[in-house]
Structure 1
Amino acid sequence: MDDHAADPDKPSLRERLRPLRGHLWALVVLLASLASVLALWQLAYDRELRAADARFVSNTQEATELLKQRIINYELVAGGGAALFASVDRPTPTQWYGFADGMGIGSRFPGMVGLGFAGYVSGNRLQDLQNEWRETGWGVLRVRPEGERDHYGPILYLEPRSAENVQAIGFDMYSEPARKAAMEAALESGKASLSGPVHLIQDGATSRTGLLLYLPVYRDGARPESVAERQSAMLGWVYVPLRVDEFVREALGENPMRFRITDVTHGRSLLYVSVSDEVQQPPAFHHSEEVSHYGRRWLLEFESPPLEQAVPRLQNLQATLALGLFASLLMYAIAWMLAQTESRAHRIALGLTENYRRSEERFRTAMEYSAIGKVLLDSHGCIVQANPAFARIVGRPPETLVGERFHGLFEDAGDAAHEFGTGGDRRDSVRRETRRLHRDGGEPRQAQLTYAPVPGSVGQDVVGLVQAEDVTERLQAEARVHALNRTLEHRVAMRTRELSQANQELEAFAYSVSHDLRAPLRAIDGFSKVLAERYAATLDEAGQGYLERVRKAANRMGELIDALLKMSRVTRSALRHERVDLGRMAAELVDDLRAGDPDHPVEVEIHGDLVAEGDASLLRNLLENLLGNAWKFTRGTADPRIEFGRNAVEFFIRDNGAGFDQEYVDKLFRPFQRLHDQSEFAGHGIGLASVKRIVERHGGSIRAEGRPGQGATFYFTLPGEVREQG
């Protein structure tokens, strides 16, 4: 069964295609005319490209020949210098100057830096050459770089006599690999040899690329047959230094072609590039030429100007093509517009109808299935439509809400018609508020309302949309959070008050220890002293011993009270952060220890860069305890030594004294905990506890490592530490 039989109202395929027949004929005419125009244009385009490419290749070959001819001219100049040596055993600098000046190098050959001669000198003949140079009145010949070598190739003559060329005299070209390779090639072959890219001495710190052309010079002007004979008859090289950029400009002039020259003899070395590395239009043609001369192979890579410059006649072809295309498109457009008018009107009508239907369907679906309550209101503030989500918030069926005043559902009734602005900017008319809602059969709820103006259909009284969200639980949760915050603040205040009271009690205890406990101790010590002085004769030896032990115990108790007060002050004093040089502070403490105990020679090493941030008085207390401990526990040790320094993250104080068992390291930092007997090493057991509190007050940590009889090391960190900037 075909589509027409299944649906009589639906048009057949032929009827649906009938409006398209005009479009199809217009398309056929367009394709035929376009094909003809493009075929003719392509033939003319290819012909112009081939002709331009041939002209470009011819120009590149001409440029290559010019470069080769110019380098041959340089060889002829060097050959003239070699001929001078054939006529004179060794020309004087004056004769060399006369020859070079007669050649007119500066005006005739701008690319040449000069014309020079480098001698071939064995290591044992260098001193003779320098003496000969001095005795003939030619000046002092300083060969550089210095050092002993088997052979030298110093520059002896170089004209014209510019300041740069004069400074080059004496440079040993045979000591530099690139120059030496070309010089040896010329020596062994007896022919001119060209170097690879080098940096000329005359160019100083610039990055210009240079080349050197060497021509060997033998005794008597003849070239020996064998390599060994050439080496024995070798006098030196006439050489031509040249700058590549000036050499190219001299040979080619202002050539518009873009090209580069690369030395490919051994690898690839760029000699010259005619343009900068800036982004340019791509060239129309490429061509490469490889040339070999004087022992080197050069690759010349040419690029033509962009297509519109390389083939200017293409612009005329493009204008002709554009005219043909325009005529084809114009005929097609006329036919197409006639056929398009009717079908377009039909499509527009169908599209508008379908768009309206889908838009209406989308809106109703969004209203129906939205999890947020939505209500459409008319100009009187009455409900036109309410979705199920809003009905659940109110607690009533949706159909019972239609026609009811919207603000009548809330405790603070108002006029919804005035909630929507009439201005041009709809975003300025959007407003949000939270209101208390009457809910049938339940407790009141809090609803967050968002008012937005929306247009209705033609003839429909709809002015706005209200979105409602039940935020009762959220507001209740916020209230609970606020209550918890108030409770927490009350608890914090109570804990702060308790802590303050505890601190006051500690201060009272410290005051009691400082004053109340000292009075009985002073009485015990005083009466014991009176007994010892007045009744010593009536006491036997045992009684006097007991009395002495009572006095020592009283003094010991006094010292313990002082230590407790000192540790209490460490925890109560306010911190004052400043930059502290711990190395200088440690040196002062060591000087005090040496002065107080001169019979105990200790080698002390204090590293540099021991700077930290902290309270200076507390840090001095820290170092005083740690250095004092190290000083005390090295007593009786052969070659006692103390070291104060730092590693990547920690300061450390290390000694080679009595040490301790690592098993009991936790007892070190507890008050009154001692790992050594009082008779062996005196102390109160308070020092390391104070050290730990000082480090922790600065936000750091402390640890200890030790072995009995092998010393101990204390590591501590001060997070605020700083380093000197190098």
Structure 2
Amino acid sequence: MQKMNAFSWVILIASLLLTSVIWIGYSYQERNSQNQNFLNTADFMTLQITDELEQYEQVLIGSQGLYAASNKVEFSEWQTFVETHDIQTRFPGLQGIGYAQHILPENRDKLILEMKNSGFVDYKIKPEGERDEYYPVVFVEPLDERNQNAIGYDINYEQTRHSAINLVKETGDTTMTGKITLVQEIDNDIQNGFLMLIPIYSNDKTSSDTLTGIVYAVFRINDFINNISNENNFENLRLKIYDNYISDENLFFDSNKNIDDKSDNAIFLTEIPISNYNRDWIFLYEGQSSPTTMGLLIEIFIPVVGITMSLLLFYIFRIFTKNLKLSREAISNEKISTIGTMASRMSHDLKNPLTVIKSSIELLQMNLGDKIDDKTKNYSKRIEDSITLIFSIIDDVLEFAKTSVLHKENVSLKILLENIVSNISVPENIKINLPENNISINCDKSKIESVLSNLITNSIQAIEKTGTIDVSIEETSTNVIISISDSGSGIPEDKISQIFEPLFTTKTSGTGLGLGISKNIVEQHGGKINVSNNPTTFTVTLPKSHLSSPANDDHIPVIRNVLKKMLKDTEQM
């Protein structure tokens, strides 16, 4: 039956483990799926941005055609070109398109005069000062409030712009600047920006200065990215763009600043470097878990259903085991009841012939008198001892099976122990140390006396040669504790757990009922009896006040165990 109970636990643990494996496997697969979606989204967004930059480059290439078709492009022509491309509608992420003319110091005043005559009465080259060459902004469209602030600005003045212009000169290719602050930033909403530059060459073959200017596109990075990607794309994804290499100073764009999402609990991470237009950007994507509603339901459903089914299987198997146990006990109890009745009748029936045998031996000894020889006397003595032993065994069994109501009275434990020791034959080589203190307890005197007498007798029998037995009594607020220790060899460790079982004994003689009877009596008083080794100590704990159970219920569990053992022994015969 214990194996069946253990098997039910095995089923529970195995089913819970299976549930865990399925749940972990699904979670792992779901996480991989989310990670793949994250990587796909990152690749798609990167491709969107690079494709958009290529579209803007095409606009700049178109402006090269405008300048190639004319020796000099007037302001009205530039306006018409920008309006034709419908830049504000088709390219909403673009702040503007401008033209910066390349001039030498000797032509600076001439350009300023031309610009003033064209309607820009306040035109001047900014910042002021002498330089080897200038690239002042001449045209920029749309000419809104932000872009008006750029008119006249020398884009060759600031170092980052200057480096990009040098690359344009060297390569002749479209080039992007690094991270800059645009002169268009005129309010508190300051964003990082960059320029895309493309060279314009002179149509005059006789001119020594073939680079006449630069057409450029102006980008405010937040406006540029947000017009490409919807803000919803950043709900569970964070994009950081770094210029050239990763550092706080080179952080170009951070999507968190746009959506006020300050979460740094990134689960997924990928880094995508791109090289476009003589510039290196690094796209760093951080993703968070974003399971679907169905995925969440399944992830909750698996452990809930798995645990429920595991507990249900466990419960069903336990019920099955319990019913099987009850069925077996019902059959066993019927046999036990029969054997119990037989044992009681046999005990009484055996006493009658034993009494006759004992009386006959005594009469035989009286009739023979002095004529009895030593051999016959020895045989008679052995018969008498055997009869006495049988009577003792029968009395133990009857005493064990007998139940009675406790007759309690106030008892002095000190006096009770002294009386017990005085009635026991104590060998000279054994010393018994009784307690000096006195404690009184309300108990059944005769029953507790038999318990303590049995324990002290066992201690005497456990001492092979010289030894001592120490008896102590103490009390707490609720209990009285009696301890009996001896200096004997102790109880084998593999036997100590069975010491109170009925019919179990470590001695070569005896019924094995003494400690079982003692345990019954102590428990009938509402107490406990325990044993420990090193030294061997029996501890009896009795409550100071206890309402005893009905007499006919006190011994039933233990009697049942005795009869079960008798039944088992009978079946093995």
TM value normalised by structure 1: 0.40
Task: Work out whether 1:82 is the aligned partner of 2:64.
Answer: yes
Inter-CA distance 288–221: structure 2 relative to 1 (3 Å threshold): farther
The Cα offsets for residues 97-124 of structure 1, whole Å up to 9 and x where unpaired, read as: 1111111111111111111001122233
Give the aligned residue type for 2:239.
R
Match of 1:219 among 193, 198, 202: 202
1:227-306 paired onto structure 2 within 5 Å: 232-257=209-234, 258-265=237-244, 268=247, 269-276=250-257, 278-280=261-263, 282-306=265-289
Distance apart, 1:284 and its partner CA: 4.5
Kindly indicate whether the alpha-carbon contact (under 8 Å) linking 2:34 and 2:290 is maintained by their aligned counterparts in 1.
Answer: no
Letter in 1 for 2:124: R
Letter in 1 for 2:285: F
Asked if 2 retains the 8 angstrom alpha-carbon contact of 1:283 and 1:307, the reply is no
Could you tell me which of 33, 45, 52 is aligned with 1:63? Answer: 45
State the distance in 1 between where 2:282 and 2:30 align.
28
Post-superposition offset of 1:324: 0.7
Residue 303 of structure 2 corresponds to residue 324 of structure 1: no
- Alpha-carbon spacing, 1:234–1:45, altered in 2? closer, same or farther (3 Å): same
The alignment of Structure 1 onto Structure 2 pairs a total of residues equal to: 324
Aligned-residue offset at 1:249: 2.3
CA distance in 1 between partners of 2:129 and 2:316 (Å): 91
- 1:280-429 correspondence runs (5 A): 280=263, 282-309=265-292, 312-332=294-314
Report the 3-state secondary structure (helix = DSSP H, G, I; strand = E; otherwise coil) of the residue aligned with 1:313: helix
Partner Cα separation in structure 2 for residue 359 and residue 191 of structure 1: 99
Shift of residue 253 of structure 1?
Answer: 3.1
Match for 1:113: what amino acid? Q
Asked whether the 8 Å contact 2:22–2:302 carries over to 1, the reply is no
Deviation at 1:280, TM superposition (A): 3.3
CA distance in 2, matches of 1:246, 1:290: 21
Confirm or deny: 8 A CA contact 1:79 1:215 kept in the other structure.
Answer: yes
Please say if 1:184 is aligned against 2:159: no
Output the amino acid matched with 2:211. M
Aligned 1:518-533 pairs, distance under 5 A? none
Residue identity in the other structure for 1:155? V
Pairing of 1:604-623 with structure 2 (within 5 A): none
Cα drift, residue 160 of structure 1: 1.2
> 1:155 aligned to 2:137?
yes
Tell me which amino acid in the other structure corresponds to 2:105. Answer: G
CA separation of 1:274 and 1:357: change in aligned 2, threshold 3 A = farther
Determine which of 68, 83, 96 is the counterpart of 1:101.
83
Whether the aligned pair in 1 keeps the contact of 2:242 and 2:253 (CA below 8 Å) is: no
Q: Find the aligned partners of 1:281 and 1:265 in 2 and give their Cα distance.
A: 23
What displacement does 1:49 show? 3.1
1:246 aligned partner, one-letter code: D
Deviations 1:414-466 (A, max 9, x none): xxxxxxxxxxxxxxxxxxxxxxxxxxxxxxxxxxxxxxxxxxx989xxxxxxx
Residues 1:23 and 1:208: Cα distance change in structure 2 (over 3 Å): farther
- Alignment partners' CA distance in 2, 1:65 and 1:164: 29
Residue 59 of structure 1 aligns to a residue whose secondary structure is helix
Determine the C-alpha separation between the residues in 1 that align with 2:477 and 2:262: 52
By how many angstroms is 1:73 displaced?
A: 0.9
Do the aligned partners of 1:154 and 1:170 also contact (CA within 8 Å) in 2? yes
Aligned equivalent of 1:42, options 14, 18, 24: 24
Equivalent-residue separation in structure 2 for 1:161 and 1:307 (angstroms): 43
Secondary structure of the corresponding residue to residue 184 of structure 2: helix
Q: Is the 8 A contact 1:186 1:216 kept in 2?
A: yes
Alpha-carbon distance, 1:332 to partner? 4.2
The separation in 2 between residues aligned to 1:101 and 1:193, in whole angstroms, is 24
Q: Which residue of 2 aligns with 1:120?
A: 102
Q: 1:137 to 1:28 in 2, by over 3 A?
A: closer
Q: Could you tell me which amino acid in structure 1 is paired with residue 240 of structure 2?
A: I
- The answer to whether the 8 A contact 1:260-1:271 is kept is no
CA deviations 1:632-676 (Å, max 9, x no partner) are xxxxxxxxxxxxxxxxxxxxxxxxxxxxxxxxxxxxxxxxxxxxx
Tell me, in whole angstroms, the C-alpha distance in 1 between the residues paired with 2:204 and 2:302: 70
Residues 306/47 of structure 1: CA separation in 2 closer, same or farther (3 Å cut): closer
SS in 1 for 2:128: coil
With over 3 angstroms needed to count, the CA separation of the structure-2 counterparts of 1:120 and 1:26, relative to structure 1, is same
Q: Name the aligned partner's letter for residue 284 of structure 2.
A: E
Q: Which structure ranks higher in relative contact order (CA pairs < 8 Å, sequence separation ≥ 6)?
A: 2
Letter in 1 for 2:283: L
- How has the CA–CA distance of structure 1 residues 220 and 108 changed in structure 2, closer, same or farther, with 3 Å as cutoff? same
Q: Which secondary structure state, in structure 2, belongs to the residue aligned with residue 98 of structure 1?
A: helix
Q: Amino acid of the residue matched to residue 170 of structure 1? A: G
Tell me the CA shift for residue 319 of structure 1: 0.6
Alpha-carbon distance in structure 1 between the residues aligned to 2:143 and 2:475: 96
Conserved? CA contact 1:112–1:241, under 8 Å: yes
The structure-2 alpha-carbon separation of the partners of 1:157 and 1:330, relative to structure 1 and needing over 3 Å to count, comes to same
CA distance in 2, matches of 1:267, 1:53: 23
Q: Does 1:208 align with 2:185?
A: no
Read off the aligned partner of 1:149 and give its amino acid letter. Answer: R
Any idea what SS the aligned residue of 2:173 has? coil
Shift of 1:133: 3.2
CA contact (8 A) 2:178 2:243 kept: no
Secondary structure (helix, strand or coil) at the match of 1:55 reads helix
- Kept in 2, the 8 Å contact 1:114–1:158? The answer is yes
Q: Label 1:273 to 1:359 Cα distance change in 2 as closer, same or farther (>3 A).
A: farther
Give yes or no for the alignment of 1:196 onto 2:178. Answer: yes
- How many angstroms apart in 1 are the aligned matches of 2:136 and 2:43? 38
**In structure 1, the residue corresponding to 2:123 is in which secondary structure?**
coil
Q: Tell me the amino acid that sits aligned with residue 85 of structure 1.
A: Y
- On the 8 A contact 1:113/1:242 being kept in 2, the answer is yes
Q: Counterparts of 1:308 and 1:211 in 2: how far apart (Å)?
A: 37
> How many Å apart are 1:87 and its aligned residue?
1.0
**Residues 442-461 of structure 1: pairs in structure 2 closer than 5 A:** none
Contact 1:85/1:91, CA 8 A, preserved across alignment? yes
Q: Distance in 2 between matches of 1:281 and 1:270?
A: 16
- How far off is 1:30 after superposition? 2.0
For residues 335 and 322 of structure 1, what CA distance do their matches in structure 2 show? Answer: 20
Distance in 1, matches of 2:119 and 2:225, equals 39
- State how far apart, in whole Å, the 1-side matches of 2:191 and 2:275 are: 23
CA RMSD of aligned residues (A): 3.5
1:142 Cα deviation after fit: 0.7
One-letter amino acid of the counterpart of residue 262, structure 1: I
Offset, 1:241 = 0.4
Instruction: Determine the C-alpha separation between the residues in 1 that align with 2:220 and 2:126.
Output: 22
Taking structure 1 as reference, are residues 71 and 81 closer, same or farther at Cα in structure 2, changes over 3 Å only? same
**Closer/same/farther in 2, CA of residues 200 and 281 from structure 1, 3 Å limit:** closer
- The question of whether the paired residues in 1 share the 8 Å contact of 2:246 and 2:282 is answered with no
TM-score scaled by length of structure 2: 0.51
Any unmatched runs of 5+ in structure 1?
A: 1-17, 341-355, 362-456, 460-726
